[in-house]
Amino acid sequence: MDIVKIVGIAIVAVIIITLIKQYKPEFAIYVSIIAGIIIFFMVFDQLSGIINLINELTTKANLNSDFIKILLKITGIAFLAEFALQICMDLGESALANKVDLGGKVIIISLSIPILSSLVESVVQILP
């Protein structure tokens, strides 16, 4: 049960952060970042399995692998942007968090242009 490990790490981190804030509040953010990175790498193992499964299904179904790669990149960017955004919010840097959010969205839109153009071309071919 990986979720039990993730919740355990989060609870231990919160307890340590609460204790550290009393004496050295500047170190509390380091504990938060380290716990976040540990959880991220725990989840990363699950993500690699999902990516392998998607690649196998793409091959079996004869789907355009370029589109699947773009969708996986978009998903990864969304996860990383959200992770960075939450760290910025934890530090009280909401303005910087908003910039990370905007940057992630712009990159996602720019990556999705080939899919959108292909979709528009398909619709134009169907219409008289």
Q: What is the DSSP string of 44-97?
A: HHHHHHHHHHHHHHHHHHT--HHHHHHHHHHHHHHHHHHHHHHHHHHTT-HHHH
Q: How confident is the model at residue 90 (pLDDT cuts 50, 70, 90)?
A: confident
Q: Which residue, among 53, 46, 52, 55, has the nearest Cα to 79 in the 3D structure?
A: 46
Q: State mean pLDDT over 112-120.
A: 90
Nearest to 52 by CA among 28, 44, 25: 44
Going by pLDDT thresholds of 50, 70 and 90, the confidence category of residue 102 is very high
Confidence (pLDDT) at 103: 96
| Rounded Cα gap, residues 47 and 53, in angstroms | 10
> If pLDDT is split at 50, 70 and 90, which confidence band does 40 have?
confident
pLDDT category, 59, cuts 50, 70, 90? confident
Q: Looking at residue 122, what DSSP letter applies?
A: H
**CA angle at residue 55 from 119 to 115, to 5 degrees?**
15
Please give the model's pTM, rounded to 2 decimal places. Answer: 0.72
Q: What pLDDT shows up at residue 107?
A: 96
Confidence check: pLDDT of 74 > 80: yes
In this prediction, residues 5-14 reach a mean pLDDT of: 93
- Between CA 44 and CA 70 the distance in angstroms is 18
